[in-house]
Structures are given as C-alpha cells and as structure tokens.
A = this chain, B = another copy of it.
C-alpha cells in the first residue's frame, strides 16, 4: 500500500520528509494543521504582499528579528521559496490560507492559485512550533505538542517594534510556563534557533512588558502558569501580520493558524538533505 492509498494519520506525518508532507497537502490528502509534521524541520509563517510593500516589510522584519525571523523571500511573482524548499509552491503547499483586504479578514481559502499574481511577493518567517520541539526534547514540557486542548497564550506587549515604512506597532509575544529551575535551559535551547524566534524577550512579571491580565490574552488563551513555574515570553510570528493589518495594506494573504509551511531546512536554518 502506498502513502497515496491509505488514510493519513497525524502521527504518520512526523516521520515523513518535508516534500512528502507538502505533496500530501498539495494533493489535498492532508488538510489539517502541521503540528508535529516532518519533525526536525523548520516550519514557517507565510505572509504574501503586493510588491509595492515588499521592501518596507522586509526592512521591518530585519529590524525586528525576534518576532519576525526571515527564512526566505520570493522573487516578485514567483511562488517558489528557493532557499527554504526549492521546487515547492507557496500557492498550494499550505493546507489553509487567510485573505485580508484593507486590514480585515475577508476569506479563508484552500489555495492561492486564483489569487497569486505577478505582483505578489511571499515571505517565510520563523515560527515557534519549531523550537517547541527543541524545548520538549530538552526536558522542558510543551504540553500543546501532545494534548490537543493545550494552547500557548499569545498577548500584545508594550515592547515597540522598530518601524519601517508603513509598518509599526507593538510586539506580539507568546508565554510558555517553564519550571523555574529550567528557565536558564529554556534560554539556552531557544537561543540556538534564531530562525524560530530565538531567545526569550522577557522572563518573569508580565506587567513589565505591559501585559496586565495574564489570564486573558488578546490573541490566544492558553496554558496557565502553575506552581513552581515562571512565565517566559518569546517574540511571536503573529507580530508581522498584526502590523500589516494595522497598516491596512490593501491585500495580504497569510497561512491560517497552525497550517504552516514545512521547509526543507533543519531547525537551525541549515540546509538538510
């Protein structure tokens, strides 16, 4: 029985090569999220913008590498990410996309074949799914990797991003409860993966970065801080989307939350055969 013939289970995806995952998504054999798919490979957020905004947006990302680590940028009109996954197609190789017009969500679509024009540029930005795996392997439990009811809380902080052109605004951050005696290890482990947001941006009191209610995040409500745990905050890939929405860019396509692009790259960004 070939891969094509049987029904795909999420657990199957873990050991698949990145191009096999992308092909299954392209063929609509897998339409779910990419949590745990192609383990050990860097997954990425997608942002697609009209060429007019591309240079400003790229400067914004380069100036704010913690929330917006740049993995790849396509040539205008091309949907092939030549660095992250030569031969892949950003119009079809993610399982769900969001369409925003003038900063408002207007549609959710299964591909971008009818929407992507010669005028579009695709950006692949690091996502924390990748370092969650590294944290978990290092003995710092990441329950959301196993328990589908577990989530990572996501907040708007008061840390200002460095602006570029029309793009500006506060950094969106995620919070993971970390056993207090493993906070140093969490910094060390994630610091090795700058393309997956890298080291934390804050440790400890949420109020220090303008978060007044840790129980009620603006974006995602996730696991609460428990006894003997310290709140650790990382830059979040929602930041560039939030900033592009706030700038009311006429047209923007992104991945749908959890439906990431699976690159060929190792977690540290190096090419991997």
Q: Interface on A for B, CB 8 Å cutoff?
A: 51, 54-55, 58-59, 62-63, 70, 73, 75-76, 82-83, 162, 164-165
Determine if A75 and B59 form an interchain contact, defined as CB atoms under 8 angstroms apart.
yes
A70–chain B nearest beta-carbon distance, Å: 6
Identical chains bound together, number:
2
Q: Is the interface of A mostly helix, strand, loop or mixed?
A: mixed
Chain B residues positioned under 8 Å from A63 (CB to CB): 82-83
| Pairs of residues from A and B, 7 with the lowest C-beta to C-beta distance, nearest first | A55-B55, A59-B73, A54-B55, A63-B83, A58-B58, A62-B73, A62-B70
A176 to B62, CA, bound (A): 31
A273 to B217, CA, bound (A): 34
Chain B residues positioned under 8 Å from A165 (CB to CB): 75
Chain B residues positioned under 8 Å from A55 (CB to CB): 51, 54-55, 58, 76
Chain B residues positioned under 8 Å from A51 (CB to CB): 55
